[in-house]
Structure 1
Amino acid sequence: MKFLFLYTASVLLSAVAVWASSVTLTEPEPNQVWETGSTVHIKWKVNDPKAAKKIRLQYASGPSQALVINGLIADRVNGSSGSYSWKIPKDLKPKKYVIEAGPSAKDLSFAGRLSTIPLEAVWALKLEFFSPPNVVL
């Protein structure tokens, strides 16, 4: 009985080690809205320094079970740096994205769902919000 318990525990720990990502994204937080053309900060912590010496940052969209990579943010980023500043392309389509980070396609961490909005739309919303009310004299 002891042997069966130890064997089961070792299999479960092995499975956890395989499924755990060597990088954990800490920013962006879910449901953030990012302006195209702005610079944002992507942050992570390294869980396995040997595996995450160089990481790839990319953005993807679609259902969680079938994400499609939409673009590369940066490749071969120093994993121990813990952060990367990304200038969002002005022509990035407005939609919901996740940020992916990791040393390989089989070892990724995800953050998001975040939305992008064109900078012009942000200024239009700000102007509308801060416009003084119509004053009739």
Structure 2
Amino acid sequence: MEPHYQFSDAAFEKQFKHGLLHPSYFTHEAHLRLAWIHITKYGLENAIENITSQLEAFTKLNNEETKYNKTVTIAAIRAVFHFILKSKSDNFRDFIDEFPRLLFEFRDLLGYHYAFNIFDSEEARTTYLEPDLQPFD
């Protein structure tokens, strides 16, 4: 079990927001969970604003600024939103069980939207780049 599950959604959100979450707990799945929490609680646009600013602060606090990628972060939030619209789940664990592709095929999912590698693009790290293949719904 992922270590971020030791926290309730509210506690996980608070730990992350205040920079108290141990960096090793912030896995890909934890990133998706944070997106799910913020989207369901604050809506898509506020989720994007909250998570990007908090993640920038989190990576800076932990001297991991080079790991932050603005395009990947926003694309992940938009991907989670896309699947939330199709979901019947009312909690993250059920949601991720319903859509495991977000965990196991994440790069492939983003490949439907981007013709270039946003994971290694220096420009994508600092500026949100809109999809050049298919926009997010």
Higher fraction of helix: 2
Question: Which structure has more RCO (C-alpha within 8 Å, separation ≥ 6)?
Answer: 1
Q: Looking at CA atoms only, which structure, 1 or 2, has the larger radius of gyration? A: 1
The answer to which structure has the higher strand fraction is 1
TM-score for both structures, normalised by structure 2: 0.29
Give the structure-1-normalised TM-score. Answer: 0.29
